[in-house]
Amino acid sequence: MPDPRQVVLYSRKGCHLCEIVKETLTKLERRGGFTWRDVDVDADDQLRRQFTDEVPVVFIDGRKAFKYRMDEREFLRKLDS
């Protein structure tokens, strides 16, 4: 069985869109095939400068896959590719 895909969500506290993406990832994680972690961009000066107000941002295996919003079907499609 292949290793699970690695998903990273860059977000910040108080971000409504970030909360929606977190809920979606939590729900989809039950299907398997990926693990994910949440990184608070405000905890690191470099990340804060890099992402400014462009959160949430989702990376799949180190590649940017979504910014601001994430469609469930499109996420699953990208996981399978």
The pTM assigned to this predicted structure is: 0.93
Domains in the chain and their CATH numbers?
5-75 (3.40.30.10)
* pLDDT tens, position by position, 42-71: 999 999 999 998 999 999 999 999 999 999
3-state secondary structure of 56: coil
CA distance 72 to 23: 11
* Tokens found for residue 65: 């896959």
Q: What angle do CA 23, 26, 32 make, to 5 degrees?
A: 150
HSE of 59 in the Cβ direction (CA atoms, 13 Å)?
Answer: 12
pLDDT at residue 15 in the model: 96
Say whether pLDDT at 1 is over 60: no
Q: Where are the alpha helices (DSSP H) in the chain?
A: 16-29, 45-51, 72-80
